[in-house]
Chains A and B, each alone.
Chain A
């Protein structure tokens, strides 16, 4: 790698600037997503753009290809300052982006996907198109059955097709958002091989990633963003994993001391759990995790590290490929989701609208959502309406969610108040194991602190345990008893005594450890 590194940097010096963003500021409402960020992409170079969720990576890239207009700053492409008003402008300037979730339409053939939106003529001459497609594929060392349906493609095949789509559109500046998220290590190697080849042919490649090994092994240059600010912009050869991890995560305040408690019996034990995700990839890989009564455990990690699939497996909505889940001392295999809820499993759902409420139902009807089979909300086969109304009242009162009556629809509450309501609901009726996915989403600092302090109180007082997913490490350090990190489907615990060490957990999150 060392020799290669030198050669790369020499070449980098001699090649021209393909795109330059100068002093970009982008504001969404009160949030400054990008603050005076400058960024350069050179031809012949693979450039990494790294940072936590919400650091501004995607926003910056959307500014580059014209999908977002910045409040301040200038964009120049191939040496000329340009005005980009839409993504179509970006494409006409030979900028292309492959997003994390591929835009491949499974029902169309590979060829149709390749050409979609960039068909050469109104009447498609299939044979000519196939021969041009083959030419592009051969150049990259790929091979495709162009008339096969795209649904037959593996994740790496789909990724290759996405790259060919960029070539079909004559993209010279190529942005890839988390390109290896769905790929196996071998496929990732091959992908970066292809990207290197494209760079050698004069393309400017930008890879948005949170995986430091990839940056160190395959990229020439790295730009680090944190909280919308530029933290570093330097050749990869001049940095290392520890430095990058610290630049990405930052120095936080030390953990405050939480109330003391003695962890009790094991309430949840996940052992060597492997779960397949939606795309057939192993989203959770041999994960181990133990929750004891009384404790609130943080699950740190960037979005998409397998948290979602882990939760669904614990809830009984996804069947594990292997491994076991012990819930309240009993093997949960083949135990239905509703039985698990009866045993005390509670959820604060990630996507409130889709998973946690019915918007046009009353608060009262929403109060028993997920708890509808539990006494006293149920009495025999019937709903106990008085108990349910009381419960709805408690659910609004616990975090003082502002409302105009429990008979009013859920949609009459603001997002923050809805979140207060669903968080309260999960804590109020005999919880044993609480799974909380970003439980403070949409809440201000005070609201978030209230939810966490009630969560700890519930766990301590009622001998329950909680597992909290958050993409904000500081939040977990401040409010949870200990933290484990999830990355690429694996869960790693920091060594004893370092359970809340920002540096060590940060490294585990980005696989720098």
Chain B
């Protein structure tokens, strides 16, 4: 029964977590399974209050393993589905994230990063899961991961995560941090008809012609949903176009796993997003994402005031990483600075792409993200 509007068009003052929940609903998400965890609890809490009023389903599962399993099931049954967690829950989900990648189940996973490892610092921010997002489950596969830096982006990028997940049939991650999630800021929700929504490519051939894992030219197979009358076999084992296990075939394994990677790699130019600030003549390029990017922008402006030609590259897609944008920005840069709330993760990607020996990482752990002054001082120290 629908009792409330799904899209709350208008201007709001909201927290990042609540904006994320509203973004999911606006994107068409009608199934959420999760297990509460700080600092992502408010996403589940808000969705639990909204779903019954808009004809959707909220289930609190017994843990995060079951949560992601339920999400994959809902996705296969035809709904847009999401879960939200933090580091400890994200670790538990990794096996089934691999299952979602292997069975090409579109789904969205929000990880509001707090301080780790293990249960770490539940109420404090971190950026320590960004490599886990890329490499967390075993085997070769590709995913898409987005990094919001404002309440508005918690809304916008959650919608984008659904759109990309539906387009490429991959798990898509919203890699937020505690500050962005708990921060309250202005959020503008546009009219429903102005929000771009992408739905998965559906099977439209007669059921006897349908092969569930036969890709189109874009490497993505059209998807039938369980119960629609199409014969459909899905498995985590290496499978052929019929969905049947072929555990001894080098040919099937090569074809399948390469396609799982290539459907993202070959479309990277279409997926990748980055914000470029004052990079045209930048001698110092700061690469920062999430809440740290906002401190970095302040620091870069301050550096400009002091006559240092600094610029900011903010990856909005962490995965795929904006390689070409960085390579171009780095061409004329003398110094590259990567502040992160971890001991050095995305900086490895920056080093790999730029091959520069003048890449410097600025770690920050516990309590607060970097202040603009800390980043500015680091710029001044390293750029001589």
Is chain B a partner of chain A in the same complex?
no
| Residues of chain B at the chain A interface (Cβ within 8 Å) | none
